């Protein structure tokens, strides 16, 4: 009996610990260190940021995603593709939720190559919401030629493809510094304290005021980095809000069901009395 | 466990079918009235949990396969299409990915439970061997499934693992290379490789399901082992499977699903590697190639051996050695509960498996490599030396007189007669 009890307790504690652990992992980002850790030039420094989408109830901040899209569109999209996204996604639930006409206008800004037409020729037309995001380069080779031999990676799932996710993106975009004494980046490379190896081909393109914000948010590099990182988290995980919402319902259901099951189990096993063979 | 059938079909169709194909009778006898030791603890609920997880993996996997494109150009993007544009696709895909981890978690607990309580000893050797076979099939299936994502980790895991066969070149020059090219369907991991991995990944779960049926069959011949490891001595020692264990397994399953749901809904990528969200690139090797967490102990064993061929042999042996456990353990007593010396070696072995898992995630250099070798040595010594030798030398603790006695103590006087209504005809 005691062993069974302790096994049950063990199972319950294990479930609880993992639940706490998972939540803590998600919450860890909320607890930004009060003082930045000592700067070591060998180890990239990724500071945790506070994100609205952290935690089991986290949601995206619509205004932030809209600003983030603006930063992506005005700055990043000059070199970085986002081939998994379509303009229609910008209006979908759980994302930036641009109004329908805004989505159409944003799509129409992009000049798309379509075709071939009935004369066998490719032609240009304004983008439609169903189009994938316009790609800056027709092929990787062109991208390399235009970028000093480096290939700007696609950003669709970038926030899940790097250790630290949005924290890393924020740290990278705000991590440009003058190289420390004795550190000579290779020609065309830039020093960045967050990038592994500290030499990155991407030049620092963000500076205060390069992107116009219309909602009163301060147009600073830190805000640009934060907003575009949140936006990239959405592009990588567009169903995050739906997932959190469904998760809550499933949790409530499972916990209620488990309580009922436990009581039912107790009731059934209470039929066992003494040494006699029990009945069904 | 052989016991008289109490199945009495009431409907005329039921009687008609029972005379032709007695599925109802089998279900009734094996899953309703099946005499089950009354003292099974929660560690015994993982068999049911594993059956459930296999069903989850097959159900989600079949639907995922409807949307998945097994080509190097299409694989990564089709997974992302499932995540973005397929109705409930994100739920299916994360259930399948996290489900794989949960499946292994349950399988490892189930295996360690069998080891601790001596469930592999006579007359359950075949049951145990079938279980090890299932574990092997699971490892193959999970490895192939992980490759289908066709991210950087997928691609390089396939490259590393298939390349292990090239170590056979050390035995017969050219044999390993030929074999690897045959597996790849070409001169490098590519489209034919991915296509066959997909085909086999769809096939293997059904092989697992088949062996699971044999596993349950082999279980139902001798009946369950139990925490005391002593045999069932009479009807007082057992309860009918339903409702006692259906309800208990059901509750445990819910607790397990709760843990599954926490990971699925709140941290679906916690156990994955971020590099697998980078599309596969044959021209760029990731800085550290690591397998999923459930393969890490074996990966540590592989890398602990300096010679490639010997490393591969050690890797295969680390799982294959489980087949021989019924004959390596010389103790007459099943349950570790009554084995005062072996108990310590057992828990050190559990720690060894966990530490090897950690070491497998670290680069094989410096102290990691030294500890990897020490723990790998213990891993094998446990089976090859501890099991046979301790079994012979150890004086086991006193066993309880019966299962019932172990639960209630010997104090209560035995009832003079069991009420007629409660009598159960059981042939033991």
Burial of B171 (0-12, 13-18, 19+ CB in 10 A): exposed
Predicted-complex ipTM score: 0.90
Please compute the mean of the pLDDT values over residues A39-57 and round it to a whole number: 83
Collapsing DSSP states into helix, strand and coil, what is residue A211? coil
Give the lowest-confidence range in A34-38, A72-76, B93-97, B106-110.
Answer: A34-38
Beta bridge partners of A190: A200
How close B310 gets to chain A, by Cα (Å)? 34
Tokens standing for residue B269: 């990528």
Q: Label residue B304 exposed, middle or buried (CB < 10 Å: 0-12, 13-18, 19+).
A: buried
Output DSSP code: residue A210.
Answer: S
Pick the more confident residue, A272 or B355.
B355
- Give contacts of B261 with chain A, Cβ < 8 Å: 247, 250-251, 254
Q: Which pLDDT band holds residue A32 (cuts at 50, 70, 90)?
A: very low
pLDDT tens, per residue, chain B with 428 residues? 678 899 999 999 999 999 999 999 999 999 999 999 999 999 999 999 999 999 999 999 999 999 999 999 999 999 999 999 999 999 999 999 999 999 999 999 999 999 999 999 999 999 999 999 999 999 999 999 999 999 999 999 999 999 999 999 999 999 999 999 999 999 999 999 999 999 999 999 999 999 999 999 999 999 999 999 999 999 999 999 999 999 999 999 999 999 999 999 999 999 999 999 999 999 999 989 999 999 999 999 999 999 999 999 999 999 999 999 999 999 999 999 999 999 999 999 999 999 999 999 999 999 999 999 999 999 999 999 999 999 999 999 999 999 999 988 875 555 555 444 444 444 33
Q: Is B400 an interface residue toward A (CB < 8 Å)?
A: no
3-state secondary structure B47-67: HHHHHHHHHHHHHHHHHHHHH
pLDDT at A28: 40
CATH code of domain B290-401: 1.10.287.980
- The CA distance from B413 to the nearest CA of chain A, in Å, is 9
Chain A touched by B35 (CB under 8 Å): no
Task: Locate the domains of chain B by residue range.
Answer: 35-286, 290-401
Tell me whether residues B274 and A56 touch, CB distance under 8 A: no
Contacts of B154 in chain A (CB under 8 A): none
Of the candidates B236, B250, B408, which has its C-beta nearest A277's C-beta?
A: B236
The minimum CA-CA distance between A277 and chain B, rounded to whole Å, is 4
Asked if the A48-244 domain carries CATH number 1.10.3720.10, the reply is no
* Alpha-carbon distance values, B316 to A50, B29, B45, B322 (Å): 46, 39, 29, 11
B415 touching A (Cβ < 8 Å)? yes
pLDDT value of residue B353: 98
Domain B35-286 has CATH 1.20.810.10: yes
Residue A273 is predicted with a pLDDT of: 64
Interface membership of B83 toward A (CB under 8 Å): yes
pLDDT (tens digit per residue) in A94-138: 999 999 999 999 999 999 999 999 999 999 999 999 999 999 999
Please give the mean pLDDT across all residues of chain A: 87
Report which DSSP code applies to A88: G
Three-state secondary structure call for residue A4: helix
pLDDT at A11 over 50: no
Give B-chain residues touching A1 at CB under 8 angstroms. Answer: 407
**CB proximity B27 to A under 8 Å:** no
| Lookup: tokens for A157 | 């799932």
Name the pairing type of β-strands B35-37 and A199-200.
unpaired
Q: What is the pLDDT of residue B409?
A: 80
List chain B residues with CB under 8 Å of A26: 266-267
Domain ranges of chain A: 48-244
The answer to whether B350 contacts chain A (CB < 8 Å) is no
Q: Is pLDDT of A279 > 70? A: no
CB pair distance less than 8 Å for B77 and A84 = yes
pLDDT at residue A277 is higher than 80: no
Contact B248 A264 (CB under 8 A): no
Output b/e per residue, A236-254; b: 16+ Cβ within 10 A.
bbbbbbebbebbeebbeeb
Q: Closest partner residue to B244 among A18, A269, A274, by Cβ?
A: A269
Contact B422 A279 (CB under 8 A): yes
State mean pLDDT over A140-164: 96
Structure tokens at B318: 């680390």
B422 touches chain A (CB under 8 A): yes
Task: Report, as an integer, the average pLDDT of A215-231.
Answer: 97
Whole-number Cα distances in Å, B301 to B115, B171, B217, B329, B373: 20, 21, 33, 22, 8
Q: Does B252 touch chain A (CB under 8 A)?
A: yes
Nearest to A251 among B80, B238, B261 (CB): B261
């Amino acid at each position: 009996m005691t062993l069974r009890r302790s096994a049950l307790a063990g199972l319950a504690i294990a479930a609880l610990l993992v639940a706490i652990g998972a939540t803590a992992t998600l919450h860890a980002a909320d607890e930004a260190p009060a003082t930045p850790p000592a700067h070591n030039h060998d180890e990239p420094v990724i500071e945790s940021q506070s994100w609205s989408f952290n935690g089991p109830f986290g949601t995206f901040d619509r205004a932030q995603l809209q600003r983030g899209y603006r930063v992506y569109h005005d700055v990043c999209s000059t070199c970085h593709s986002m081939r998994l996204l379509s303009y229609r996604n910008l209006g979908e639930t759980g994302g930036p939720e641009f109004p329908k006409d805004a989505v159409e206008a944003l799509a129409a800004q992009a000049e798309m190559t379509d075709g071939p037409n009935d004369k066998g020729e490719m032609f240009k037309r304004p983008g439609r919401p169903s189009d994938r995001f316009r790609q800056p380069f027709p092929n990787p080779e062109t991208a390399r030629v235009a970028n000093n031999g480096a290939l700007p990676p696609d950003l669709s799932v970038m926030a899940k493809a790097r250790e630290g996710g949005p924290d890393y993106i924020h740290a990278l975009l705000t991590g440009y510094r003058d190289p420390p004494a004795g550190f000579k980046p290779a020609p065309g490379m830039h020093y960045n304290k967050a990038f592994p190896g500290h030499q990155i081909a991407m030049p620092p393109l963000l500076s205060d005021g390069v992107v116009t914000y219309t909602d009163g948010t301060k147009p600073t590099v830190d805000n640009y980095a934060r907003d575009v990182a949140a936006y990239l988290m959405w592009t990588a995980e567009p169903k995050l809000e739906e997932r959190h919402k469904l998760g809550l319902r499933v949790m409530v259901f499972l916990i209620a069901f488990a309580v009922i099951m436990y009581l039912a189990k107790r009731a059934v096993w209470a039929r066992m009395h003494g040494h006699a063979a029990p009945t069904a | 466990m052989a016991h008289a059938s109490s199945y009495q079909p009431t409907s005329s169709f039921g009687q008609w079918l029972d005379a032709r194909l007695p599925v109802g009778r089998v279900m009734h006898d094996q899953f309703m009235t099946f005499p089950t030791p009354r003292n099974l603890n929660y560690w015994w609920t993982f068999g049911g949990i594993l059956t459930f997880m296999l069903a989850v993996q097959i159900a989600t996997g079949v639907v995922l396969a409807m949307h998945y494109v097994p080509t190097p150009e299409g694989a990564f993007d089709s997974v992302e299409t499932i995540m973005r544009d397929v109705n409930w696709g994100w739920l299916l895909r994360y259930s399948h990915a996290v489900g794989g981890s949960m499946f292994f978690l349950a399988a490892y607990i189930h295996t360690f439970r069998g080891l601790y309580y001596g469930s592999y000893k006579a007359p359950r050797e075949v049951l145990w061997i079938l279980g090890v076979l299932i574990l092997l099939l699971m490892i193959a299936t999970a490895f192939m499934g992980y490759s289908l994502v066709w991210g950087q980790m997928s691609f390089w895991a396939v490259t590393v693992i298939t390349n292990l066969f090239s170590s056979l070149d050390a035995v017969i020059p050219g044999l390993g290379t030929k074999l690897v090219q045959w597996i790849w369907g070409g001169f490098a991991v590519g489209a034919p490789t991915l296509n066959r991995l997909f085909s086999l990944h769809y096939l293997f779960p059904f092989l697992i399901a088949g062996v699971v049926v044999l596993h349950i069959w082999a279980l139902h011949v001798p009946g369950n082992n139990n925490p005391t490891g002593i045999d069932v001595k009479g009807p007082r020692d057992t309860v009918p499977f339903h409702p006692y264990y259906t309800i208990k397994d059901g509750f445990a399953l819910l607790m397990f699903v709760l843990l599954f749901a926490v990971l699925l809904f709140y941290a679906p990528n916690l156990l994955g590697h971020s590099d697998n969200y980078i599309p596969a690139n044959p021209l760029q090797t990731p800085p550290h190639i690591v397998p999923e967490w459930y393969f890490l102990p074996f990966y540590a064993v592989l890398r602990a051996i300096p010679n490639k061929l010997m490393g591969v042999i050690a890797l295969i042996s680390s799982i294959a050695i489980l087949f021989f456990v019924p004959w390596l353990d010389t103790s007459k007593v099943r349950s570790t509960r009554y084995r005062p010396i072996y108990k310590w070696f057992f828990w050190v072995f559990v720690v060894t498996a966990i530490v090897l898992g950690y070491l497998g995630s670290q680069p094989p250099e410096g102290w990691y490599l030294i500890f990897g070798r020490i723990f790998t040595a213990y891993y094998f010594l446990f089976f090859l030396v501890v099991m046979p030798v301790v079994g012979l030398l150890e004086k086991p603790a006193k066993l309880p007189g019966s299962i019932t006695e172990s639960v209630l103590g010997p104090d209560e006087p035995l009832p003079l007669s069991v009420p007629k209504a409660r009598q159960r005809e059981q042939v033991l």
